[in-house]
Chain A
Amino acid sequence: MKKTILLPTDFSIESLTVLKTVLSESATEEKFDIILLHGVHLTDSITDLLFYSKKKIINQFVSEEFNEACSVIQNKYASKINSIRKDIFTGFTQSAFNNYAEATRIDEAYLPEQHQWHFDKRKSFDLVPFIKKSKLSVQQIGWNSNHNIPEKGKVAEIFFNGVPSHS
């Protein structure tokens, strides 16, 4: 069965825990198209908008470590993952979000239970209220959040973060 799922992210390694959990708990025959979505305030400058490039904006946020961690997960669940896409949402209104969800055919959304977003409030905004108000089926994922670990922000973080391992 193919599913498109939406995960809000702040492009921190810790936020990938949601993805890791969803995948580890899913049934074996399921296949996912994954959208990692980040809410971004678009610039007001007309010259910046003239040279607007979604890829460039995403690259501003995404670190090398995040990409590596993504590919670690992708390799682990290679048979379950159809695609992982990083995207930005730039709308202001609930209906804009509903349109986005409809256009990208999102089936489900997964939210972190108590994760504090780490982003610059001037550039990004929280997508959780939009997701909660929309008609998408929403699931909360929780884990033992631990901010004070040595490997914070490194690829290593994805390996140990409270999700029970199956070995």
Chain B
Amino acid sequence: MKTQTKITLLFLIPFLIVLSLFSGFVYYSFLNYSHNDFFRLLELRAITAGKIELDDNTTTNSKEIKELRDQFFERLPQEKDYFFPLDKAESYHDESKLLGLPFSFFESVIKNGKADFRKNNTFYKGIIYYSKKGRYIVVASAENYYELHHSAYLKRTLFFSILAAFIISAVTSFYFSKYIFKPLQKITERVNQISSENLHLRLDETNKNDELNELAMTFNTMLDRIETSFETQNNFISNASHELRTPLTAIIGEADVILSKDRSHEDYKEAIQIMLVEAEKLEGKTRALLFLAQTGFNGKTQKFEKIRIDQVLMDVKETLERINQKNKIHLDMSLLPENYDMIKVNGNEQLLHLAFSNIISNGCKYSDNQTVNVALGASNNSVFIVIKDLGIGIPESELKFIYDPFFRASNTKNYEGYGIGLPLTRNIIRMHRGEIDVKSIQNQGTTVQINIPMYKI
């Protein structure tokens, strides 16, 4: 069932229930009132009849009453009066059979002085009348004209008003739900239009601060992300093929030139040397790419264990200083927490080693071997690693591209590199559920702040 119909029904059903309860209550209370009223009327009639028929005085009084009755009391349909002398020995079986009334009716008259009975539409009221001739049971009966006509009329009115209300509310709720779901339908249509060819399309946002606008905004930010990742993917492929082709072209070119004629032994040697360098570059690039691809997965194959970050950093420092004697790395442990459990994280040592050495060697490289400061600290939930260099920095406008594979900032022309280190590092930090934040001022330096959630027992 569509939500639209569901909403219509949800709106209608309670409304109908309330309406029918309401009219049912009105109908039955009216009926009840009309019955009571009619019994009171019959009682009056019974007393009047008793006065006329049983009080045997032929004075004007009785006549007057009779006249009055004929004049002002409307004749009720099937109006009949019965008189039975009240006798202790009498059991009223015959009478009850005669009138078709239950025996209990008479009993209750004798006991309480009056009784009501109703058979189909005929109402009976019995009273005890004290006349001069003795006690009598007077039974007045008539058909309830009011019920016959009024209640039928009431029933009809209620039925038609419910029907009208139902139709009106059905129509309103239908339009109402349509109105609510209109923007949703719009969103669906719009989202259906968007495919990989036209990812730039966005949903219309209004200024209203409602849930549907929020939905549209969420969709739009999601589309933003998808679009950027699509673009990164596209750029990645073109960049990667370009990066891989450059050394290959060099190798092929070199080989072509050297094979074009006979050369001396030294020339061959030199050429092969160049080819080797280029091939090594190619190898380095493919290895980096492979690593990037591996870490890009959800990292289920990597084994995670409890490791101390300060040890990893010391290892990195040692390795980097061994690789290049000119690297100067200063480990600043001044804010190391007193409790060493606080610098333990759940991680993979090789990966973290790779991540930190990427960042730190970048720092060394782009600061022309000035000292790189590496500091370590811990807040209550995460371990902070801060790497600060005084190098060339990253232009502010290019900061947002630094995680794109093969992206290299415009001021790095004089430095070697593939542009894979930072995306790789970010992948690794993400695998550790950490955050990496790069801040930089061009020509002043770069500060990389990494925080990794602390190992919790």
Contact = CB atoms under 8 A, between A and B. Distances in A.
A159 interface: yes
Contacts of B384: 68, 72, 155-156, 159
B337 A150 contact: no
B434 to A, nearest CB: 13
Interface stretch (A35-43, A74-82, A126-134): A74-82
A95 to B, nearest CB: 38
Contact of A160 (B378, B388, B393, B451): B388
A24 interface: yes
Contacts of A79: 338
Given A149-B441, A151-B439, A167-B332, A71 B380 contact: yes
A5 interface: no
B386 A150 contact: no
Contact of A77 (B338, B440, B447): B338
Interface string B419-457: 000000000000000000101110011110101000000
Contact of A159 (B377, B382, B393): B377
A123 to B, nearest CB: 26
Contacts of A75: 337-339, 342, 377-380
Q: Which of B331, B339, B380, B444 has the most CB of A within 10 A?
A: B380
Contacts, number: 100
Contacts of A165: 332-334
Secondary structure dominating the interface of B: strand
Q: How large is the interface on B (under 10, 10 to 19, 20 to 34, 35 or more residues)?
A: 20 to 34
Given A75-B338, A78-B339, A159-B332, A154 B437 contact: yes
Contacts of B446: 150
Contacts of B441: 148-150
A148 B444 contact: yes
A141 interface: no
Q: How large is the interface on A (under 10, 10 to 19, 20 to 34, 35 or more residues)?
A: 20 to 34
Given A78-B338, A151-B447, A154-B449, A167 B333 contact: yes
Interface in A41-78: 67-69, 71-73, 75-78
A29 B279 CA distance: 62
B335 interface: yes
Interface in B322-341: 331-339
Contacts of A67: 379
Contact of B379 (A68, A151, A163): A68
B335 A159 contact: yes
Interface string A142-164: 00000011111011101110010
Contacts of B379: 67-69, 71-72, 75, 155
Interface string A11-42: 00000000010001000000000000000000
Nearest to A20: B335
A85 interface: no
B373 interface: yes
B142 interface: no
A121 interface: no
A166 interface: yes
A154 B334 CA distance: 18
B42 interface: no
A152 B444 CA distance: 13
A150 B445 contact: yes
B209 to A, nearest CB: 22
A156 B447 contact: yes
B375 interface: yes
A155 B331 contact: no
B393 A150 contact: yes
A53 B289 CA distance: 54
Nearest to A76: B335
A27 B447 CA distance: 32
Nearest to A164: B334
Interface of A: 20, 24, 67-69, 71-73, 75-79, 148-152, 154-156, 158-160, 163, 165-167
Sorted nearest first, the 5 A-B pairs with minimum C-beta distance are A75-B337, A165-B334, A159-B375, A151-B447, A71-B379
Interface of B: 331-339, 342, 373, 375, 377-380, 382, 384, 386, 388, 393, 437, 439-441, 444-447, 449, 451
